[in-house]
Structure 1
Amino acid sequence: MEWAFRRGMGALAEKMGMEFLEFSLERCVATLPVEGNTQPVGLMHGGAYVVLGESLGSMAANLHAGPGRLAVGVDINATHTRSATSGVVTGVCTPVHLGRSLTVHEITVSDEQGRRLSTIRITNIIRDAPV
């Protein structure tokens, strides 16, 4: 978790109010408030779910990549199955595949009642970090 705090979440995640709760190779968890991240009709914006998923998945892939290496997203998809209108949503990121040059993570986003709102899958490619 210390690594994630040192590195930071990035300006977009911070602007959206994302907070990391747990951070390890096996599981990363973060929350995001609904307020301030809605579409005009008051529902949580689907793009906000994707930002939560990409933030968790990319940070997890970079932790796996290790020092001197950089993970960069090459594919992401999301299926939204329910909408949130208030409160906080929670994203839980778990690895599907952790390879030397490629990672795949699944992120489930749930509301405060534990109902799944979105399922996101991200693939990251791992390269040597630029010098």
Structure 2
Amino acid sequence: MKQYVKSENLVPVVWDLGGQDRLRTSWATYYRGTHAVIVVIDSTDRARISIMKDELFRLLQHGDLEHSVVLVFANKQDLKDAMSPAEITDALSLHSIKNHDWHIQACSAIKGEGLYDGLGWIAEKVGGKPTSS
């Protein structure tokens, strides 16, 4: 789903791509001109974190994303069984990402916590980059 989100001096185009296995093959269709990748992790889903790690590293190898920054939203931090951002950082091996700036942001989408902090990080990193398609 294509969405437009206005944030101060930045008007990004956001593509909300489903994470289901059958949808992943279409992700690369949207990479061209991408300045930032946002990955939303369900912090309570320990069983699928390794799948997300594999998919994250697969997409970061794509040539159209070579200059993109990566924001990982550690969602559902309001739940007591949520993995901490540090646990998710380790599980996703984020420290091994050397060719992309990355940031992990604790958040609770349902409470609206942490979302603007993460988007602010993206605005700081990609602000002023020309749009390409």
**TM-score under structure 1 length normalisation:** 0.28
Relative to its length, the structure with more strand (as a share) is 1
Relative to its length, the structure with more helix (as a share) is 2
